[in-house]
């Protein structure tokens, strides 16, 4: 109504004879603009009011509602008919455009929901947050209950002050028999409930998937615990009983009154007792270390120390001439737990000596690499194929034809666990020319990295 009025004032106060046809085109333009901005009804009002103004101000006789020339009557009727037709087409096109945009948005949302199912996404909070943003809500909550008489509980929510009951929500959407979505912030139109129903169904699927994943993780932990216990029983049944049997036999022989043992024989029996005790101590130590790693009860006491202070102490369990050291004094200090580092290197060296030929020495070398220090334990044994390099670090795993008395397969698992507890890594590589190289990487003191989470508990001296 304002547009035709302003146009009339402009045309009547400007000394320009445009002609009735041009005046009608200008008023028709305002009708189209009204249709674009307000829809069909404002366009009809603009067309009717424009027809009145054209008749009163621009059709002879002026300032009267009568029309002298019959041709002008036809022109005004045609103007009104064209204005109404154009307004209808423009309004229909605008509504179709709005519907197309809405359907495109709905298809994108449905595609997102379908894609989340295929990708296996299991974050309920992320889905509820997407729902809150899509519908412009303040909060969204997924409520559930066991039966119709049980109280509602919140399975997941986003936003401030989520609803605790479906009755308190501005919009609620049932999901099955005992679940509902509760949204607060505004009342949704009926056209949005179809998409809301798709979100609700997806939320129920995600919640079920989260719970199934949690149950699967628990079952996996129980299965892993059973596997560890089974392997532990197998180890105890043989590898631990063997040194005990040797110690028992040697002690019984020494205490026997039926045989007069020479000094050489007594020394040999005592040496067998000592070796069996050392072997038993080593096996039990690895079992205890592995149990602490499995339960997450290892807390390293990190301090700065030189590598050449720790590595030589780790060679006490191997023959003197079986290892060659190459540790430069110019290496930077490392931020480690000395006890854990010593135990890791000791296990690596013992494993390397075990599989190396008798005439080959194991090389223990260290070098600085940017913000870390590498300790390499190099042997010339049979080596390990690439597909088995990760498997040898699993508990109770022994590669190749190692004899049963060679251990229970915990040394490398303990070494990697201690390395990761200190923020380092342990990996296996091929030795050029044949053999296996264990690469133990620890952080340098000046570039200390945060320890991995989930490793609380006891320090190793």
pTM for the model stands at: 0.46
Q: Looking at the predicted structure, is the pLDDT value of residue 403 above 50?
A: no
User: Does the domain formed by 298-447 have CATH 3.10.105.10?
Assistant: no
Q: How far apart are CA 162 and CA 144, in angstroms?
A: 14
pLDDT digits (tens, 9 = 90+) for 99-144: 777 777 767 776 776 666 556 556 778 788 888 887 888 888 888 8
Would you state the structure tokens that stand for residue 169, as one six-digit string? Answer: 């929500």
Q: 167 or 461, which is more confident? A: 167
Which of 69-73, 89-93, 163-167 has the weakest average pLDDT? 69-73
Confidence tier at 458 by pLDDT (50, 70, 90): very low
Q: Looking at the predicted structure, is the pLDDT value of residue 460 above 50?
A: no
> Residue 373: its pLDDT value, please?
93
CB 437 within 8 A of CB 378: yes
Q: How far apart are CA 173 and CA 186, in angstroms?
A: 14
Q: 329 or 95, which is more confident? A: 329
Would you state the structure tokens that stand for residue 316, as one six-digit string? Answer: 């006490």
The CATH class that applies to domain 122-245 reads: alpha beta
The per-type count for the chain, helices as H runs and strands as E runs, is 11, 11
Identify each DSSP E strand in 300-381 by its residue range.
303-305, 323-326, 334-336, 362-369, 372-378
> Residue 396: its pLDDT value, please?
63
Q: Which helix (H) or strand (E) holds 180?
A: strand 179-184
Identify each DSSP E strand in 253-345 by its residue range.
303-305, 323-326, 334-336
**Chain-wide mean pLDDT for the chain?**
79
Q: Looking at the predicted structure, is the pLDDT value of residue 291 above 80?
A: no
**Extents of the domains making up the chain:** 2-99, 122-245, 298-447
pLDDT digits (tens, 9 = 90+) for 362-396: 999 999 988 899 999 999 988 888 888 888 887 76
Instruction: Give the pLDDT mean for 320-349.
Output: 89
Instruction: Give the pLDDT mean for 23-47.
Output: 80
Q: In angstroms, how far is the first alpha carbon of the chain from the final one?
A: 90
Closest CA to 22 of 7, 9, 36: 7
> Residue 367: its pLDDT value, please?
92
Number of alpha carbons in the 13 Å side-chain half-sphere of residue 408:
31
Q: Looking at the predicted structure, is the pLDDT value of residue 263 above 60?
A: yes
Query: Buried b vs exposed e over 344-374: b needs ≥16 C-beta within 10 Å?
Result: bbbbbbbbbbbbbeeeebbbbbbeeeeebbb
Beta pairing partners, 154? 143
pLDDT digits (tens, 9 = 90+) for 225-252: 676 666 556 555 555 677 788 888 888 8
CB 442 within 8 A of CB 375: yes
Confidence tier at 457 by pLDDT (50, 70, 90): very low
């Amino acid at each position: 109504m304002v547009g035709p009025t302003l146009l009339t004032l402009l045309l009547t106060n400007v000394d320009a004879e445009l002609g009735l046809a041009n005046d009608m085109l200008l008023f028709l333009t305002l009708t189209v603009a009204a249709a674009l901005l307000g829809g069909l009804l404002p366009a009809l009002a603009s067309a009717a009011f424009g027809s009145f103004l054209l008749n009163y101000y621009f059709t002879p006789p002026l300032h009267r509602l009568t029309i002298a020339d019959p041709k002008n009557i036809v022109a005004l009727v045609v103007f009104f008919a064209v204005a109404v037709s154009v307004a209808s087409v423009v309004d229909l096109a605008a509504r179709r455009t709005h519907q197309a945009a809405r359907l495109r948005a709905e298809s994108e949302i449905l595609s997102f929901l379908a894609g989340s199912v295929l990708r296996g996404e299991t974050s309920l909070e992320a889905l509820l947050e997407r729902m809150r943003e899509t519908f412009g809500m303040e909060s969204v909550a997924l409520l559930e209950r066991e039966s119709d008489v049980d109280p509602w509980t919140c399975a997941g929510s986003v936003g401030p002050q989520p609803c605790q009951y479906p009755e308190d929500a501005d919009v609620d959407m049932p999901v099955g028999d005992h679940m509902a979505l509760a949204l607060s912030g505004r009342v949704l139109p009926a056209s949005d409930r179809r998409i809301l129903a798709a979100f609700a169904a997806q939320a129920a699927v995600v919640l079920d998937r989260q719970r199934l994943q949690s149950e699967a993780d628990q079952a996996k932990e129980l299965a892993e615990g059973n596997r560890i216990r089974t392997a532990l029983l197998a180890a105890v049944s043989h590898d631990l009983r063997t040194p005990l049997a040797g110690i028992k036999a040697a002690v019984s022989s020494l205490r026997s009154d039926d045989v007069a043992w020479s000094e050489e024989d007594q020394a040999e029996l005592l040496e067998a007792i000592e070796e069996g005790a050392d072997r038993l101590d080593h096996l039990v130590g690895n079992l205890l270390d592995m149990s602490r790693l499995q339960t997450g009860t290892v807390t390293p006491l990190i301090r700065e120390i030189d590598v050449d202070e720790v590595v030589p102490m780790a060679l006490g369990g191997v023959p003197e001439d079986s290892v060659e050291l190459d540790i430069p004094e110019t290496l930077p200090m490392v931020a480690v737990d000395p006890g854990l580092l010593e135990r890791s290197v000791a296990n690596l060296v013992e494993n390397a000596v075990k599989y190396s030929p008798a005439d080959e020495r194991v090389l223990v070398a260290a070098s600085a690499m940017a913000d870390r220090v590498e300790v390499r334990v190099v042997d010339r044994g049979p080596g390990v194929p690439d597909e088995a390099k990760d498997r040898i670090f699993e508990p109770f795993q022994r590669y190749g034809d190692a004899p049963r008395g060679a251990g229970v397969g915990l040394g490398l698992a303990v070494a990697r666990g201690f390395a990761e507890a200190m923020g380092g890594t342990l990996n296996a590589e091929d030795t050029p020319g044949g053999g296996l190289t264990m690469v133990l990487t620890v952080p340098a003191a000046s570039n200390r990295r945060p320890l991995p989470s989930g490793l609380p508990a006891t320090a190793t001296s």
